[in-house]
Amino acid sequence: MQAPVVGVLALQGAFALHVRALERLGSVAVEVRTPPELAGVDGLVLPGGESTTMSKLLDANGLFEPVAERLAEGMPALGTCAGMILLAREVLDGRADQRSFGAVDITVRRNAFGRQVDSFEADLEVAGLPEAPVHAVFIRAPVVEDVGPGVEVLAQVDGGRPVACRQGRVLVTSFHPELSPDLRVHELFLRELAA
Ligand code: GLN
């Protein structure tokens, strides 16, 4: 079997380190900016950055509908921070014209971690990664305010706020796993791709 090709949405934000993380794990990773580039990938990483800008650029590049279609067909995806916002069903405190894919049945609120709104770090127990806690970096991170019945919560902070969730083949994190040398969150996603 040919190795899966992993796309990283590269319209804006922290895409370069995702490409590097995937390559370090032995994957073929390609930057995605156009519909033909999307057509060539088996899964997609939606990075952190600015979800309002990415939403606009997805429309401007004719990528919003093609990505939505691939997600509806079951394409595996990993969304981190702004990427989580883009994959959520509902976005609070967004721009009025901000769009999201609704691939994960969660409601997120942008930039809402209370006094820790700018950035903080935490060691997380992540379901499926029992060996050691995952060191997670949060940067103006979204808060998950509501989780639908089909969503599995993989990690929490503050005794119960979800910061990593999975629904079907889509994995989302409030934090930035590409900023840590620990690549196990990317590995979880690649396991989904291989399945
Ligand atoms: N606050 C950003 C947004 O709303 C997300 C921040 C990030 O991706 N680090 O899109």
* 140 Cβ inside 6 Å of ligand 1: yes
Mean pLDDT of the chain: 95
Per-residue pLDDT tens for 87-119? 999 999 999 999 999 999 999 999 987 655 688
Per-residue pLDDT tens for 145-164? 999 999 999 999 988 999 99
pTM (predicted TM-score): 0.96
Domain hosting residue 137, numbered range: 5-194
CATH number at residue 112: 3.40.50.880
Could you give the number of structural domains in the chain?
A: 1
Q: Which atom of ligand 1 is nearest to the CA of 48?
A: 8
* 85 Cβ inside 6 Å of ligand 1: yes
Per-residue pLDDT tens for 166-189? 999 999 999 999 999 999 999 999
In sequence order, what DSSP letters do the residues of the chain get, joined into one string? Answer: -PPPEEEEE-SSSSHHHHHHHHHHTT-EEEEE-SHHHHHT-SEEEE-SS-HHHHHHHHHHTT-HHHHHHHHHTT--EEEETHHHHHHEEEEES--TT------EEEEEETT-SGGG-SEEEEEEEETTEEEEEEEEEEESPPEEEEE-TTPEEEEEETTTEEEEEEETTEEEESS-GGGSS--HHHHHHHHHHH-
Q: Which atom of ligand 1 is nearest to the CA of 176?
A: 9
Determine the residue of 12, 85, 118, 172 to mutate for testing ligand 1's pocket, defined as the one with the most ligand atoms within 8 A of the Cβ atom.
85
Determine the residue of 92, 140, 143, 179 to mutate for testing ligand 1's pocket, defined as the one with the most ligand atoms within 8 A of the Cβ atom.
140
